[in-house]
């Protein structure tokens, strides 16, 4: 009896040889199932051309055009990606809604003799699952919020805690952004909101509900990525620990960790120009003059005193009012940070309620 593609809505992905996303590269880049590979049956341009034919000519002509393109792309994938797959190979295949694109690949692979499974509802089934999980899962954990003015090495402290097997939710890492005007990654952009949520869910699902989760005191928006409401609500209510450090230590730390701006003064000026609605032209010009004069320490101190520190104080007052313990560091040396990490690890969690 010939094989036929199976169908499932179960997202237990580890039972398959591979998870294959047959959507266009642009759709895949926006978001995809964890670990899925992209073998498009229509590339970005082809998908747009078929859509234009559908709207401007007819559905029949679009299907005929699409079928020819899909056949060519499937032939390519068979001759390359699938060329060395064994008889026991068993992929899960999906497209946007579980429609023609995924069925076309599943049918061909099944005719070859491989057992294939289609994700019923396609990517939309997965997206519904992610949304529901992010509405519920954040409530399963207790959180500890690490607070501190800009330049107090909060990210590095959390990374050190993670290396000690402490549970840490790295929101800035997931968002690929340091959470401020100058926080964009140097070489790559942020994920889409959907991909941000997919990556966030993976981190949450790896945590043990019986152990606390440390997270930095972020705003509800990190760059262009929004923290899901359930998680944001839990973060604001969680007990906090604040790190304090001298101004000059913070300045030195920021200069060491944001040196790409000192190497690209034009980019820094463009960023600061975005503050024109909040500050006078004279203040913006003053910052520009400090840049032109390579007065980097004075610039960073001015930005902290005029912009970052006041913004932090406003945020803490309205968003993170539950700070229960403070650590005043004499400097931000490796020794000081290591001592702080040990103190946080030994902190009596019962007193932070």
Task: Name the helix (H) or strand (E) containing 325.
Answer: strand 323-328
- Computed over its alpha carbons, how large is the radius of gyration of the chain? 25
First to last CA, the chain: 63
Distance CA 221, CA 272 (A): 19
Q: Two tokens at 197? A: 């949520």
Task: Extract the tokens encoding 135.
Answer: 């509405």
Q: Which of 95, 147, 225, 313 is catalytic?
A: 95
Tell which residue, 220, 143, 147, has the closest CA to residue 179.
Answer: 220
In the chain, % helix, strand, coil (3-state, to 5) comes to: 55, 15, 35
HSE, side-chain direction, 13 A CA sphere, residue 135: 6
Q: Quick count: other Cβ atoms within 10 Å of Cβ 105? A: 27
Return the structure tokens found at 102: 């995924």
Give the strands of the sheet with 168-169, arranged side by side. Answer: 168-169, 213-216, 143-148, 240-244, 323-328
- Torsions phi, psi of 37, nearest 5? -100, 160
Residues linked to residue 118 through DSSP beta bridges, in sequence order: 7, 93
95 is catalytic: yes
Which positions are catalytic? Answer: 95
């Amino acid at each position: 009896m010939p094989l036929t593609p199976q169908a499932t809505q179960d997202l237990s992905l580890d039972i398959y040889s591979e998870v294959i996303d047959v959507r266009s590269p642009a759709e895949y880049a926006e978001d995809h199932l964890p670990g899925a590979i992209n073998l498009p049956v229509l590339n970005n341009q082809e998908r747009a051309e078929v859509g234009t034919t559908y709207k401007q000519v007819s559905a029949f002509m679009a299907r005929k055009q699409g079928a020819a393109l899909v056949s060519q792309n499937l032939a390519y994938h068979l001759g390359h990606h699938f060329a060395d797959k064994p008889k026991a190979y068993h992929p899960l295949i999906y497209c946007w809604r579980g429609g023609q694109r995924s069925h076309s690949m599943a049918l061909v692979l099944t005719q070859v003799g491989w057992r294939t499974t289609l994700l019923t509802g396609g990517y939309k089934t997965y997206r519904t699952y992610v949304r529901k999980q992010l509405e519920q899962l954040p409530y399963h954990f207790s959180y500890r919020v690490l607070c501190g003015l800009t330049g107090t090495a909060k990210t590095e402290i959390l990374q050190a805690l993670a290396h000690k097997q402490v549970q840490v939710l790295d929101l800035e890492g997931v968002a690929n952004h340091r959470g401020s005007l100058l926080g964009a990654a140097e070489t790559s952009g942020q994920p889409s909101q959907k991909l941000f949520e997919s990556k966030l869910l993976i981190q949450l699902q790896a945590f043990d509900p019986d152990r606390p989760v440390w997270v930095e005191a972020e705003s509800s928006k990190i760059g262009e990525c929004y923290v899901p409401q359930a998680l944001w609500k839990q973060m604001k209510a969680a007990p906090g620990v604040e790190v304090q450090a001298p101004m000059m230590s913070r300045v030195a730390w920021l200069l060491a960790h944001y040196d790409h701006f000192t190497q690209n003064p034009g980019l820094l000026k463009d960023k600061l120009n975005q503050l024109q609605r909040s500050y006078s032209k004279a203040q913006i010009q003053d910052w520009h003059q400090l840049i032109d004069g390579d007065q980097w320490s004075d610039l960073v101190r001015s930005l902290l005193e005029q912009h970052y520190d006041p913004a932090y104080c406003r945020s803490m007052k309205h968003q993170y009012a539950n700070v229960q313990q403070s650590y005043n560091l004499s400097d931000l040396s490796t020794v000081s940070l290591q001592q702080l990490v040990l103190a946080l690890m030994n902190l009596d969690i019962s007193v932070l309620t």
